[in-house]
Amino acid sequence: MTALPWPKMPARLVARMLSGHTALGLALSALLYIVCLSGTLVVFHNEFSRWEQPGITEIEAVTPQTIQTLLENVLGRLEETPDQVTLVLPTPDVPRLVAGAGEDYWVAGADGTLGEPVAHPFSEFLVTLHMYLHLPAIAGITLVGLLGVMMLGLVLTGFLAHPRIFRDAFQFRRGKSARLGETDLHNRLSVWAAPFHITIALTGALLGLATIGAYALALVFHDGDFEAVFPPIFGGETETGPAPDGVADVATAYRNFQAERPDLTAWLIYVNGPGTEAQNIEILTQVPGQLAYFDGVQFDAAGTMIGATGMSDGEAGQKIAVAVYSLHFGWFGGLPVKFAYLALGLALTAVCASGFTLWLIKRREKGRPSPRLERAWIAVVWGAPAVLAATLLGAVSGVMAEAVLIPFHWLALAGLIVLAMLFGSARHWSRALRLAAGALTLAGLAVHHAVNAGNYQGEAAWGVSAGLAVTALILLASTGPWTWSPAGGGTTTGPVQVG
C-alpha cells in the first residue's frame, strides 16, 4: 500500500514545535507539582490560621445568649446591613468564635464582644493556591480539576506500564546509578501510597470539575437553569413565615438545634436577609463519626426548626458529595489522619518531582541532554518551597500586604526559573534553593515569634512553629558537606538529580 504523501515541515518549525511541546510538558508538570505541594500544606490550614494569630484566647463552647449578642454586635459594627451574616462557632479544630460578613470578620470573646479583625493572609494564600492556582475562580478550579484527571491517568497508566511494579515493591537501588535510584524511588512511593494517590486524584478531579459538570447538567436537564442543579443534592430554600421585627432569634434557634439534633455539632450559623421579612437562619454542622463534611438545619427567624438538608442521613449520592472534601483534604479523624496525609502528600509530591526527573535523565543517557530544562526543573522543585518560605516571611513580618503575596509568589518563581535556565548547574541550583528555603523558613519563624512575643496561646501555635523549625533544619541539613558528591563524579546523570 502506498503511503499517503505528507507535507515536509521546515526543520526550524519542527524544532520550535518540539521546544513548545517540551515547554508545555514542563509547565503542566510544574503546576501539578505545585498543586501537590500546596495541598500537603493545606491539610493544616486550620492550624496555620491559628498560628498566624497566636495571641487570641481560644474557647471550647459558647452559650445561646453569646451567639445572639455576637450577631447584634456584628450588625452594629457594619456600616450597612449585609445580605448574610456568618457566625463561626468554636470546634475542636478551631476553638475560636468568629463573625462577620463579606470581607469584614472579627474574632470574638466568650461574651460575644468583637475583638481584633481576622488576619491570616498566608493560610488563605495557600488555600487559593491549591484550589485555584490564584486564577479567577471558575477557570482556576477547572484547571486544577483537569490536573486531577491528568494525575489519575498517570497513576493508572503507570501501573499498566510496569507489570513488575508489585513484584519489585521493596527493591531500592539508590547507590547504583541516578536513573535506577530515581526509578526505584518513583515506583516504590507510587506502589506503597497508590490508594492515597488514586483517592486524591479522583476527589480533586471531582471537586475541580464540579462546576463544569453542573453547567452541563443544567443545560441537559434544567433548561440552562444553573441554580436548579444543587437543591436535589444540597437542599433548597425552605418556605418561612413572616419574620418578627428586629434581629433574628439565633439564641432560640441554637437551643432548639441542641435539643432536636444532639447528634450534630454546630459549626457555622448563617443569618440570611437579617432585618428583612424573609430573614431566616441556617446552621451548618459537623457530623461526628462520619466522612460527611457538613450537614444543615434550617430555622425561621423566630428560631423554630423548619427543615434539614439531610446530607448525613440522605441518599448515597448526597453522602458521597459531602464526603469528597473530607477525603481530599484529610479533614476527618483529627491530627492522626492529618499527619498521615502529610506523609502521603509528601510522597505524592516526590513522585511528581521524580517523574519528570526520570524523563530528563533518560534524555541525557540517550545523548540528548537538556541542561536548561534540567536547571528549570530544579528551580521548580526547590524554588517552589523557597518562594513559599519567602511569602511566609513577607506575610508574618507585615512587609508584604495581602494583595502583594500572590504576584510576588509567581513573579519570584518565574524569575528563579529564568535565572536557572541562563546560568549555573543543576546541582548548584538545587543546593542553593534548599539552603534558601531552609533559611527563609527559619527567618519567618523568628520574625513571627518576635512580632508575637508573649502572645503564644494554644497548642496549634507551638505545633506549627515546631513543624516549621524541623522542616527548615531538614532542608539546611540536606545542603551540608556530608551530602556532597565527589567532585567531577556522575557527569552523565548527576546534574539531573533533584537532590
Report pLDDT for 147.
Answer: 95
Report pLDDT for 182.
Answer: 72
In angstroms and rounded to an integer, the radius of gyration of the C-alpha atoms of the chain is 26
CA distance 186 to 171: 11
pLDDT tens digit string along 226-275? 666 666 666 656 555 555 668 999 999 999 999 999 988 999 999 999 98
Which of helix, strand or coil describes residue 284? strand
pLDDT grade for 189, boundaries at 50, 70 and 90 = confident
* Greater pLDDT, 331 or 321: 331
Mention every residue, 6+ apart, whose C-beta is less than 8 A from residue 441.
389, 392, 468, 471, 472, 475
pLDDT grade for 487, boundaries at 50, 70 and 90 = very low
pLDDT tens digit string along 430-473? 999 999 999 999 999 999 999 998 888 888 999 999 999 999 99
pLDDT over 90 (residue 51): yes
Neighbours of 221 (CB within 10 A): 12
Burial 26-46, CB ≥16 within 10 A → b, else e: beebbbbbbbbbbbbbbbbbb
pLDDT over 80 (residue 160): no
| Most confident residue range from 26-30, 184-188, 405-409 | 405-409
CA distance 207 to 138: 11
pLDDT over 60 (residue 484): no
Please state, for a pLDDT cut of 70, what percent of the chain lies above it: 82
Q: Are 431 and 485 in contact (CB under 8 A)?
A: no
Instruction: Report the candidate in 209, 27, 24, 34 with the shortest Cα–Cα distance to residue 133.
Output: 34
Report pLDDT for 428.
Answer: 94
Give the type of residue at 26: L
Report pLDDT for 494.
Answer: 46
Instruction: Report the candidate in 376, 447, 326 with the shortest Cα–Cα distance to residue 52.
Output: 447
Report pLDDT for 364.
Answer: 87
pLDDT over 80 (residue 203): yes
Report pLDDT for 169.
Answer: 60
pLDDT over 70 (residue 409): yes
pLDDT over 60 (residue 352): yes
| Residue 140 φ then ψ, to 5° | -65, -50
pLDDT over 90 (residue 44): yes
Q: At what angle do helices 11-42 and 137-161 cross, to 10 degrees?
A: 100
